[in-house]
Amino acid sequence: MPELSADLYGTVSHKLDALQPSGIREFNKEVSKIPGIIKLTLGEPDMATPEHVKQAAIRSIEEDDSHYAPQMGKPELLEAISDYIQNTRDVHYDPQTEIIATVGATEALDATLFAILNTGDKVVVPTPIFSLYFPLIEMTGATVVQVDTSADNFVLTPEKLEEVLEEEGKGVKAVILNYPSNPTGREYPQEVLAGLAEVIKKHHLYAIADEIYSELVYGVEHYSIATMIPERTIFISGLSKSHAMTGYRLGYVAAPAKIMANISKMHAFLVTTVTNNVQVAAAEALTNGLDDPLEFRKIYQHRRDLLVTGLKELGFEMLTPEGAFYLFAKIPTQFGTDDVAFAKQLAKEAKVGVTPGSAFGKGGDGYVRLSYASSDENLTEAIKRIGEFLDHLA
Residue ranges in contact with ligand PMP by CB under 6 A: 43, 104-106, 130, 178, 182, 210, 212, 238, 240, 246, 251
* C-beta of 157 vs 237, nearer to ligand PMP: 237
State the amino acid at position 58 in one-letter form.
Answer: I
How far apart (Å, rounded) are the C-alpha atoms in residues 232 and 234?
7
> What would you measure as the largest C-alpha separation in the chain, in angstroms?
63
Residue nearest ligand PMP, CB atom distance: 104
Angle at 206 between CA 201 and CA 207, to 5 degrees: 90
The β-bridge relationship of strands 233-238 and 251-254 is: antiparallel
* C-beta of 176 vs 386, nearer to ligand PMP: 176
Smallest distance, ligand PMP to C-beta of residue 306, A: 22
Main-chain phi, psi angles of 146, to 5 degrees: -75, 130
**Element holding 376 (H helix, E strand):** helix 376-393
Smallest distance, ligand PMP to C-beta of residue 101, A: 11
* C-beta of 244 vs 390, nearer to ligand PMP: 244
SS3 assignment, position 206: strand
Smallest distance, ligand PMP to C-beta of residue 392, A: 32
Smallest distance, ligand PMP to C-beta of residue 26, A: 14
Surface-to-core class of residue 262, CB atoms within 10 Å of its CB (0-12 exposed, 13-18 middle, 19+ buried): middle
* C-beta of 57 vs 350, nearer to ligand PMP: 57
* C-beta of 115 vs 212, nearer to ligand PMP: 212
* C-beta of 182 vs 358, nearer to ligand PMP: 182
Smallest distance, ligand PMP to C-beta of residue 24, A: 8
* C-beta of 111 vs 350, nearer to ligand PMP: 111
Smallest distance, ligand PMP to C-beta of residue 180, A: 9
How far apart (Å, rounded) are the C-alpha atoms in residues 131 and 128?
8
Smallest distance, ligand PMP to C-beta of residue 277, A: 17
* C-beta of 150 vs 240, nearer to ligand PMP: 240
Q: Which of 294, 221, 247, 254 is nearest to 86 (CA)?
A: 254
How far apart (Å, rounded) are the C-alpha atoms in residues 278 and 191?
37
Smallest distance, ligand PMP to C-beta of residue 107, A: 7
* C-beta of 31 vs 386, nearer to ligand PMP: 31
Q: Which of 315, 387, 380 is nearest to 349 (CA)?
A: 387
Provide DSSP, 47-97.
SPPPHHHHHHHHHHHHTT--SPPPTT--HHHHHHHHHHHHHHH-----TTT
Strand ranges (E), 133-262: 143-148, 172-178, 206-210, 233-238, 251-254
Alpha-carbon Rg of the chain, whole angstroms? 21
* C-beta of 28 vs 262, nearer to ligand PMP: 28
Smallest distance, ligand PMP to C-beta of residue 145, A: 18
Smallest distance, ligand PMP to C-beta of residue 25, A: 10
331 and 369 Cβ atoms separated by less than 8 Å: no
**Element holding 355 (H helix, E strand):** strand 355-356
